Chains A and B, each alone.
Chain A
Amino acid sequence: MSEVELAAQLNVAAQTRLGRSLALFCAQAADCGGCTLELAALRGPLYRLRQLGLGFVATPLQADVLLVTGAVTRALAEPLHRAWEAMADPKWVIAVGACAIDGGPFRGEYPVLGGVSEVMPLDAVVPGCPPSPTAILGAMTALLAANA
């Protein structure tokens, strides 16, 4: 087998494998803490993240998916955009909860720009105040299925 063939085979295997796992990074915008609590609950043993190929990482540099919680304030627009820029392609963004979707109850208030789509392209939303871990998981498995 030639080196080129080997590399191609490795590439296919890597794509199959990597396509079936997602590294998640939580970016907390102006979040009261409710959505963050439910994202933390997702780490509990009942949700079997590891078995589903999902895991949290410590920086956006390592992440495939950015999970944003909370309203996007003017002060957080740039840091959030930088987190998104730091991620390698291909990458996805999920707005978790009413505030991240469009600012929620704080929409239109002077410090608030609105939802996540104000500062980066958005791939999925999970409505709720806060959404349950099951709902968040549903959005991620849908993303996995669409991109595997």
Chain B
Amino acid sequence: VIQVDTRLGYAHRGILRLMREKTPAEAAGLAARLSASTVANGLAFARAVEAATGIEPPPRAIAIRLVLLDLERVALGLHDLAETLDASGRDPARVRRTREDLLRACEAAFGHRLLMDLVVPGGIARDLSPEAARAVAAPLERLKLPGVAGFDSLRASVATLLTRPRTLPEGALSAAVPITIGEGLGQSEGGRGTHFHWVQVRDGRILQAFARDPAWLAWPRFQSAMEGRMLADLPVLAAGLSVAGVDG
């Protein structure tokens, strides 16, 4: 491969325009569908709304949000690992099995395999029971990650998941989002990088919104990584690349 040029835009859905005039709660559902990192997108958007309206979610919501974020980071990391193993001719069955067990535990604990729509502006939409908190990370107890660099953050997320859900603070799940004027920036650390959402709100509606998905950085990185490689390396280097995250 001499050079790679990507042509994007085919998956443009007009998400940011569609968010205008919606309430923060309605727009959160759209923000959560910007790319596959639904928790990270939802969280960055919720934090943007909270910054714009000057509120803080309750401690319990903050703690459960971080559990959700770690669950998504691990599930996405296992997905990308399985695809990479598959693309390089190695058996991904064990990693896929662990990921499937984790997604089923997520469904049992939160009612959704991919944890969509659980983060809402002001807090979270659903509580985590003590029993579910113990069960949700159980599939990860026997997980053995490859002992190579690049899995450090995944390892950290797994370690956190095996301890944090047991020490959740008590209290409310969400704070009311006031009807006010303001703008705010929200950030979250997803499985594929840093997500930014920015919003302007007025009279309880979204005036304007903007989002920067980590895919913005992944595509140029992919282009330069492919240069000088064999075409057969493409599936390995393209693992986890999001089109929708860039196209919006």
- Tell me the A residues contacting B by CB distance below 8 Å: 28-34, 36-38, 40-41, 43-46, 70-71, 73, 75-76, 79, 105-106, 109-112, 129-130, 132
The answer on a CB contact under 8 Å between A75 and B10 is: yes
1/0 contact string of B7-30 vs chain A (CB within 8 Å):
001111111011000000000011
CB of B4 within 8 Å of the partner chain: no
Residues on B with beta carbons closer than 8 Å to the beta carbon of A46: 97, 100
The answer on a CB contact under 8 Å between B100 and A109 is: no
With A45-B93, A111-B14 given, name 8 new contacts (CB 8 A). Answer: A31-B244, A34-B114, A41-B96, A44-B93, A44-B99, A106-B13, A109-B18, A110-B17
The answer on a CB contact under 8 Å between B12 and A73 is: yes
In this complex, how many residues of chain B approach chain A with their Cβ under 8 Å: the count is: 35
A132 to B114, CA, bound (A): 10
- Tell me the B residues contacting A by CB distance below 8 Å: 9-15, 17-18, 29-30, 33-36, 38, 79, 82-83, 86, 92-93, 96-97, 99-100, 103, 113-114, 116, 242-245, 247
The answer on a CB contact under 8 Å between B11 and A29 is: yes
Q: Main SS of the interface on chain A?
A: mixed
Of B33, B79, B82, B245, the most chain A CB neighbours within 10 A belong to B33
Of B35, B92, B100, B245, the most chain A CB neighbours within 10 A belong to B100
Q: A75-B12, A109-B17, A111-B12 are in contact. Are A30 and B114 (CB under 8 A)?
A: no
Instruction: Find A109's partner among B13, B97, B116 (CB 8 Å cutoff).
Output: B13
